[in-house]
């Protein structure tokens, strides 16, 4: 029996087809398929109600017509029933559940099933994108972690993903950095911790410029030299960027994050004049108080608060380079979709950027890609304020990750003192870094969240330790039975007990949650699903003995264990976690 990966979307198409065959007005009916209350089935189509009401028809009669027109093959997979005033309920048959579990038996097969979703679509994902010469602190982790998960998820669902780290490597801060580098640098400190030293240099130069007008002039002169292409300052700029990028890379490596490109703001310097010319020619950009700006008359705020695309001193800014970036990603990368991750404070910028791009591309007859500003809230300390160290500085990412590993090491040592230290260290790495990461992903990204070591490292609740532990528990079932979870479970019969059925249904629901997660670019949907799946598994495992004498029963229960393991591991890896076989 062939079963598709995403049974729900096939069903939706079948209901639409049936409605058309039954003579419902084309285009006026939508199935409105959703997950049903498990007591009534797996899916419910509610579309008949609205359709019938608008036309003063009897909804039950319309539902009867639609159901009668369903293709016969659908009945192989579903029990179909009509409930209440005209809800159509579909319950997956146990044989179909079994067939799905047998078909999607490896990460590779899950992936080829999911690939239909974004096949042939090219996504440019702009994430992390820190500013040169600034320490990565805890606030930077959200963009990194959510961005990496989004890239993995889109690629798993068939998209061609281009990962771009749009570093803030240009701007007025370089006047101070170069002046400070020339006059204040400590070479030993620079070798030991480049970001720390560059940040110190920057702060010291900033203070000196504030205290002494002569320094301020010198700083400005360095910036002018850089902008006019002075070779010495260009070389220093290059050196500062290289030092800074090297430090970023070591954190990326620690978090398993990679990029295909690192086209920073400076890459777009020579691409900005075209933006000015085209936007001016289109009548979109106008001069205002010496600056070049774009107003959006249809917008309540941006009709008076313009998008400044060239400053009054003639210099390019964040808006100019981002417009050039839009064009480059559309033309050079031929992106079908562009996603940029930053915190929600940049919402206005990206809204203006997108409004401007739409008009600009329409005017010049360009194809418009889809665009999404994937924004996120802040991480707060337990006092509900921006998270800080005791001395009031932002917490450095490096220190946060080190602390996570240390705390996880203590936990692992308490739980499994018998394991060799090297293994406990390895487990602590996966659990500690995983916990920080998962805590971030498990929250709806739009909200702020409160960081608490106790919560993120708890072995209960929707946490990395809980899920990583659930994975190792299933591994140990197979270890004890002397079996390989990847082996085919020959002779398995369809699920039968309520717990087997509930677990099988949850597993099949993996496809639906991938749709939802990628459509909204919100990894927390997948987290919630994995947490619920682990709960479903516990319920099943408590109520149904797996290693029993009855061979077909044993085979089907082992099959459920193996697929739970597969989906948990696949899901956690998509979120960027490293899974373990024991802990």
Q: Please report whether residue 381 would count as binding ligand ARG according to CB under 6 A.
A: no
Stretch that binds ligand ARG, among 122-130, 211-219, 538-546, 550-558 (CB under 6 A): 122-130
Report in angstroms how near the CB of residue 151 gets to ligand ARG at its nearest.
15
- For residues 538 and 541, give the distance between their C-alpha atoms in angstroms, rounded to a whole number: 5
Site for ligand ARG in 138-177 (CB under 6 A): 166, 168
Q: Find where tokens 């590993």 sit.
A: 405
What CA–CA distance (Å, rounded) separates 58 from 53? 8
Q: Residue 135 or 512: which CB sits closer to ligand ARG?
A: 135
Q: How far is the CB of 346 from ligand ARG (least distance, A)?
A: 6
471 binds ligand ARG (CB under 6 A): no
131 binds ligand ARG (CB under 6 A): yes
- DSSP string for residues in 289-351: TTEEEE--TTSTTTTTS-EEEE-TTS---HHHHHHHHHHHHHHTS--SEEEEEEEGGGHHHHH
In a 10 Å sphere around its CB, with 0-12 CB exposed, 13-18 middle and 19+ buried, how is residue 59 labelled? Answer: buried
Q: Which residues contact 433 (CB under 8 A, 6 or more apart)?
A: 254, 255, 401, 404, 405, 578
Task: Establish if 266 lies at the interface with ligand ARG (CB under 6 A).
Answer: no
Q: Does 357 bind ligand ARG (CB under 6 A)?
A: no
Is residue 369 near ligand ARG by the rule CB under 6 A? no
> Is the sign of the CA dihedral 387, 390, 392, 397 positive or negative?
negative
* 570 touches ligand ARG (CB under 6 A): no
| Residue 443 engages ligand ARG in binding (rule: CB under 6 A) | no
User: Of 168 and 535, which CB lies nearer to ligand ARG in the complex structure?
Assistant: 168
- Residues in the interface with ligand ARG (CB under 6 A) total 10
Residue 129 Cβ, how far from ligand ARG at the closest point, in Å?
Answer: 4
Q: What is the DSSP letter of 204?
A: H
Minimum gap (Å) between residue 113 Cβ and ligand ARG: 33
Mind spelling out the 3-state secondary structure of 114-153? HCCCCCCCEEEEECCCCECCCCCEHHHHHHHHHHHHHHHH
244 is a contact residue toward ligand ARG (CB under 6 A): no
Q: Single out the residue of 6, 46, 129, 241 in contact with ligand ARG (rule: CB under 6 A).
A: 129
Q: Does 278 bind ligand ARG (CB under 6 A)?
A: no
325 binds ligand ARG (CB under 6 A): yes
User: Cβ closer to ligand ARG: 197 or 322?
Assistant: 322
CB of 255 to ligand ARG, least distance (A): 17
Q: Counting contacts by CB under 6 A, is residue 340 touching ligand ARG?
A: yes
Q: Which helix (H) or strand (E) holds 449?
A: strand 449-450
Contact 149, 441 (CB under 8 A): yes
Please name the residue that has the structure tokens 């209440």. 84
Query: Residue 535 corresponds to which tokens in the numbers above?
Result: 């709960």
Binding positions for ligand ARG, rule: CB under 6 A: 126, 129-131, 166, 168, 322, 325, 340, 342
């Amino acid at each position: 029996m062939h079963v598709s990966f995403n049974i729900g979307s096939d069903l939706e198409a079948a209901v639409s087809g049936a409605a058309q065959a039954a003579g419902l007005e084309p285009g006026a009916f939508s199935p409105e398929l959703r997950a049903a209350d498990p007591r009534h089935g797996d899916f419910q189509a509610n579309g008949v109600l609205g359709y019938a009401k608008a036309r003063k028809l009897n909804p039950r009669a319309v539902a009867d017509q639609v159901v009668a027109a369903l293709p016969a093959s659908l009945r192989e997979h579903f029990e179909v029933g009509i409930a209440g005033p005209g809800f159509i309920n579909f319950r997956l048959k146990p044989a179909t559940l079994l067939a799905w579990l047998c078909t999607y038996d490896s990460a590779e097969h899950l992936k080829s099933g999911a690939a239909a979703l974004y096949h042939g679509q090219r996504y440019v994902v702009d994430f992390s994108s820190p500013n040169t010469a600034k320490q990565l602190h805890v606030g930077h982790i959200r963009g990194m972690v959510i961005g990496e998960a989004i890239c993995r998820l889109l690629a798993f669902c068939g998209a061609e993903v281009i990962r771009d780290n749009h570093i803030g490597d240009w701007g007025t801060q370089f006047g101070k950095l170069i002046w400070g580098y020339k006059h204040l640098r400590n070479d030993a400190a620079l070798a030991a911790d480049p970001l720390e030293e560059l940040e110190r240099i920057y702060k010291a130069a900033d203070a000196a410029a504030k205290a002494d007008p002569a320094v301020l002039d010198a700083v400005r002169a360095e910036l002018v030299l850089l902008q006019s292409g002075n070779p010495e300052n260009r070389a220093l700029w290059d050196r500062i960027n290289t030092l800074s990028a090297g430090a970023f890379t070591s954190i990326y490596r620690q978090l398993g994050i990679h990029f295909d490109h690192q086209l920073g703001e400076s890459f777009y310097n020579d691409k900005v004049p075209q933006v000015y010319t085209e936007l001016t020619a289109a009548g979109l950009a106008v001069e205002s108080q010496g600056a070049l700006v774009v107003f959006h008359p249809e917008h309540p705020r941006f009709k008076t608060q313009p998008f400044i695309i060239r400053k009054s001193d003639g210099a390019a800014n964040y808006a100019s380079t981002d417009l050039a970036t839009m064009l480059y990603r559309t033309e050079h990368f031929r992106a079908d979709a562009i996603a940029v991750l930053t915190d929600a404070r940049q919402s206005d910028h990206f809204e203006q950027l997108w409004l401007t791009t739409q008009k600009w591309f329409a005017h010049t007859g360009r194809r418009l890609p889809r665009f999404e500003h994937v924004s996120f809230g802040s991480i707060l300390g337990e006092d509900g304020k921006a998270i800080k160290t005791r001395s009031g500085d932002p917490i450095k990412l490096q220190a946060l990750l080190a602390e996570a590993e240390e705390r996880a090491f203590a936990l692992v040592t308490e739980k499994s003192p018998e394991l060799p230290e090297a293994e406990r260290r390895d487990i602590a790495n996966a659990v500690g870094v995983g916990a920080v990461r998962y805590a971030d992903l498990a929250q709806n990204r739009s909200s702020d969240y409160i960081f608490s070591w106790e919560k993120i490292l708890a072995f209960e609740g929707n946490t990395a330790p809980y899920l990583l532990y659930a994975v190792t528990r299933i591994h140990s079932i197979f270890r004890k039975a002397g079996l390989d979870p990847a082996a085919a479970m020959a002779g398995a019969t369809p699920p039968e007990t309520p717990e087997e059925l509930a677990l099988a249904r949850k597993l099949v629901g993996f496809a639906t949650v991938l749709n939802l997660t990628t459509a909204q670019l919100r990894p927390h949907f997948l987290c919630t699903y994995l947490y619920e799946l682990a709960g479903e598994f516990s319920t099943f495992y408590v109520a149904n003995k797996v290693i029993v004498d009855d061979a077909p029963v044993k085979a089907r229960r082992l099959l459920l264990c193996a697929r739970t393991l597969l989906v948990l591991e696949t899901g956690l890896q998509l979120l960027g976690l490293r899974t373990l076989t024991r802990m």
